[in-house]
């Protein structure tokens, strides 16, 4: 059973379809599962992978196919293809575009990155080993190749174009410095038993090569080259092996840098809040997040976006050279704003260096940046709960001359989409008509959240008789965010003040027993607010002690009925009311 499981995993790693790769130039999933060690152990494991593939030579189907020095004459046009000019290749050191057709070395020849003079044997068209390994060969301008000769690579402070340096060293140029370093690391690991060790300095200064590995990370040209040399699906000169230091440049420090790594990579923020927009609006621009590195050792770090989050930096090919450093990435979100909801995701920054001292990659916790954007439906102003009511009419009815009468009403922000509806702003109120008599305590407000309401009062000044009306236009809008729109509600107020004495409910010009009977006859009843004949001189819509006080407080006011007119007999309730009033007066 264990053998079958291993075989299935091995065969899966050999299937070279696009689906097997994280991107077009990645190794198959699981290819480096056996590279678990550090230092010399990791170097040995990588050497086995480069020689025998993931199965370690168990089956032989993924062993390194040794190609010849002569093969490179035709293979280079596949490996080093200029992506901009079909049929051309890019030459090492100067990255010049040149015809890929072999012309016997007239316009380009074959450069041994590890000088031929420092390898056992000599190169002929039938030579294999590192002398014929396509990972260790590059097409070069003959003159530049000759000027480099067998000079060791070096001078850590070099930058700019290729050329000889002080001290007899050679600089490959900014575009190829890391490529050359990783090619040398490959040769040292794959042919460890036949080549002199890099630490001798004959091929290059080891500290400089390590620095170049971090200063010039693998680009698409180098990664494509590595993959085409490996992949049978790409060409007939494939070698069936990969340069692990291109796929995982973070291995370099563990193998060649001493292993101990004190680097710490930190994101400057844990959240990116892009705020709120109304449906249909553009997604706001991403925000800059600083990434800082502390510690002496260099390191690689990986940036991974998940969910709706986006980052301008992605993947594993991001590095800091030695010492403190800082850079920034832009973190945002992507997605449709056609419907209300939350666009959210995360960006993870992971120090991936392989360390042996409890610092660096495994000990440096991931930094997770959460990005979010709230997409909101429009607010919906209404005078009613759960109902879109844009017009409210309040009729105070007919009241007697007196003071100010109030009526309560609500302003709602209806929730269009649960949890994702814009706040409501009341921007202005414009009144027309008898606004001096019929008014309100409405004032501008902002931030009325969806699903909530604000309570206001409408008021009626009954100090003078007459018929009155007033209209108030409420100008409202969504909160002040992108895509906000306006709304209008209308409040109508109506009322009439009869020319009556306060408490004269029957309008006979005298406050007396008939008025008291009206109140007591409907005691404890709900009536139309302000309806005098219904017994509500207080205007609160309920016949009770307030109305009784109005009548009794103005008792005997006005002109009594003429002599001989019929005066209704007081009811028992009326007598009780008068008695209660007398007791109240005596107590006072």
Please count the residues of the chain: 588
Q: Answer for the pair 94, 141: CB distance below 8 angstroms, yes or no.
A: yes
pLDDT at 357: 60
Q: From residue 109, give the alpha-carbon distance in Å to each of 73, 80, 92, 146, 496.
A: 8, 13, 10, 10, 106
Closest CA to 520 of 581, 567, 566: 581
Find residue 331's DSSP bridge partners: 287, 311
Q: What is the mean pLDDT of residues 331-346?
A: 98
Among 4-18, 104-118, 286-300, whose mean pLDDT is lowest?
4-18
Estimate to the nearest angstrom the gap between the alpha carbon of 183 and the chain centroid.
39
Beta bridge partner(s), residue 425:
477
User: What is the distance of C-alpha 312 from the center of its chain?
Assistant: 12
The two structure tokens encoding residue 361: 């990659």
Q: What is the pLDDT of residues 433-484, one digit of tens each?
A: 999 999 999 999 999 999 999 999 999 999 888 899 999 999 999 999 999 9
Return the SS3 of 135. Answer: coil
Q: Which of 458, 454, 453 is closest to 472 using CA atoms? A: 458
Mean pLDDT, all residues of the chain = 90
CB 333 within 8 A of CB 309: yes
Cα separation values, 349 from 260, 352, 413, 449, Å: 21, 9, 41, 36
Between CA 260 and CA 441 the distance in angstroms is: 72
Q: Does residue 3 have a pLDDT over 50?
A: no
Q: Which residue has the higher pLDDT, 402 or 480?
A: 480
Contact 397, 496 (CB under 8 A): yes
Stretch(es) of the chain classified as CATH 2.60.40.10: 264-376, 380-498
pLDDT of 18 over the 50 cut = no
User: Could you tell me the pTM of the whole model?
Assistant: 0.77
Q: How many helices (H) and strands (E) in the chain? A: 13, 24
332-361 average pLDDT score: 88
At 506, the pLDDT band (50, 70, 90 cuts) reads: confident
Percent of the chain with pLDDT over 70: 90
Question: How far apart, in whole angstroms, are the C-alpha atoms of residue 298 and residue 322?
Answer: 4
pLDDT score at 400: 77
568 has a pLDDT exceeding 70: no
Locus of tokens 């699906």: 233
**Confidence band (pLDDT; 50, 70, 90) for 558?**
confident
Q: Percent of the chain at pLDDT above 90?
A: 76
Structure tokens at 509: 């010009």
Pick the CATH number of 264-376 from 1.25.40.10, 1.10.10.10, 2.60.40.10, 3.40.50.1220: 2.60.40.10
* Token pair 């190609």: residue: 67
Judge whether residue 318 has pLDDT over 90.
Answer: yes
pLDDT of residue 530: 77
Just give the CATH number of 380-498: 2.60.40.10
pLDDT at residue 110, as a whole number = 98
Rounded Cα gap, residues 273 and 356, in angstroms: 37
Residue 200 has a CB neighbour count (10 Å cut-off) of 12
Banded model confidence at residue 56, pLDDT cuts 50, 70, 90: confident
Question: What token pair was written down for 463?
Answer: 């100090």
193 vs 588, more confident: 193
537 pLDDT tier (thresholds 50, 70, 90) = confident
pLDDT at 584: 43
Mean pLDDT to the nearest integer, 62-87: 97
Cα–Cα distance measured from residue 92 to residue 310, given in angstroms and rounded to the nearest whole number: 34
Residue 324 neighbours by CB distance under 10 Å: 12
In angstroms, rounded to a whole number, what is the distance separating the alpha carbons of residues 317 and 243? 15
The CA distance from 400 to 362, in Å, is 85
- What's the pLDDT at 17? 34
């Amino acid at each position: 059973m264990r053998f079958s499981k291993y075989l299935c995993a091995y065969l899966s790693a050999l299937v070279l379809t696009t689906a097997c790769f994280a991107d077009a130039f990645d190794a198959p999933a699981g290819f480096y599962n056996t590279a678990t060690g550090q230092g010399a152990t990791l170097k040995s494991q990588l050497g086995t992978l480069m020689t025998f593939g993931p199965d370690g030579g168990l089956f032989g189907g993924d062993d390194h196919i040794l190609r010849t020095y002569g093969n490179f004459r035709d293979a280079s046009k596949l490996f080093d293809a200029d992506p901009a000019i079909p049929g051309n290749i890019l030459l090492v050191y100067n990255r010049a575009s040149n015809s890929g057709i072999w012309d016997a070395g007239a316009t380009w020849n074959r450069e041994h990155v590890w000088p031929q003079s420092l390898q056992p044997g000599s190169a002929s068209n039938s030579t294999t080993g590192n002398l014929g390994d396509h990972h260790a060969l590059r097409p070069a301008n003959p003159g530049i190749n000759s000027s480099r000769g067998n000079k060791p690579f070096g001078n850590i402070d070099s930058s700019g174009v290729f050329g000889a340096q002080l001290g007899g060293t050679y600089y490959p140029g900014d575009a190829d410095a890391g490529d050359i370093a990783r090619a040398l690391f490959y040769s040292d690991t794959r042919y460890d038993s036949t080549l002199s060790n890099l630490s001798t300095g004959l091929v290059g200064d080891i500290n400089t090569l390590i620095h170049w590995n971090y200063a010039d990370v693998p680009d698409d040209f180098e990664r494509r080259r590595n993959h085409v040399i490996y992949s049978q699906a790409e060409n007939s000169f494939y070698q069936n092996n990969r340069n692990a230091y291109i796929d995982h440049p973070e291995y370099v420090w563990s193998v060649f840098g001493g292993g101990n790594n004190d680097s710490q990579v930190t994101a400057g923020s844990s959240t990116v809040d892009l705020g709120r927009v109304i449906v249909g609006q553009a997604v706001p621009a991403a925000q800059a997040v600083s990434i800082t590195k502390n510690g002496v050792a260099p390191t690689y770090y990986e940036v991974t976006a998940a969910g709706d989050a986006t980052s301008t930096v992605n993947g594993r090919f991001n590095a800091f050279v030695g010492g403190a450093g800082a850079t920034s990435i832009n973190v945002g979100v992507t997605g449709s704003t056609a419907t209300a909801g939350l666009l959210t995701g995360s960006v993870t920054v992971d120090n991936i260096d392989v360390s042996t001292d409890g610092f660096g990659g495994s000990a440096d916790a991931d930094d997770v940046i959460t990005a979010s954007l709230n997409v909101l439906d429009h607010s919906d102003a209404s005078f009613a709960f759960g109902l879109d009511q844009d017009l409210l009419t309040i009729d105070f009815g007919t009241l007697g001359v007196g003071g100010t009468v109030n009526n309560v009403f609500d302003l709602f922000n209806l929730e269009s989409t649960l949890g994702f509806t814009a706040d409501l702003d009341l921007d202005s109120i414009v009144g027309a008509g008898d606004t001096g008599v019929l008014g309100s305590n409405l004032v501008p407000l902002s931030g009325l959240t969806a699903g909530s309401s604000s309570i206001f009062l409408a008021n009626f000044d009954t100090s003078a008789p007459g018929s009155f009306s007033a209209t108030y236009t409420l100008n409202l809008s969504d909160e002040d965010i992108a895509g906000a729109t306006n709304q209008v509600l209308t409040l109508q107020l109506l009322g009439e003040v009869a020319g009556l004495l306060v408490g004269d409910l029957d309008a006979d010009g005298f406050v007396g027993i008939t008025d008291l009977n009206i109140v007591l006859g409907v005691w404890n009843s709900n009536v139309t607010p302000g309806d005098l004949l219904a017994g509500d001189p207080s205007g609160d819509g309920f016949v009770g002690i307030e109305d009784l006080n109005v009548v009794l407080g103005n008792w005997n006011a006005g002109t009594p009925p003429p002599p001989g007119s019929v005066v209704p007999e007081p009811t028992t309730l009326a007598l009780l009311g008068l008695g209660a009033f007398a007791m109240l007066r005596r107590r006072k």
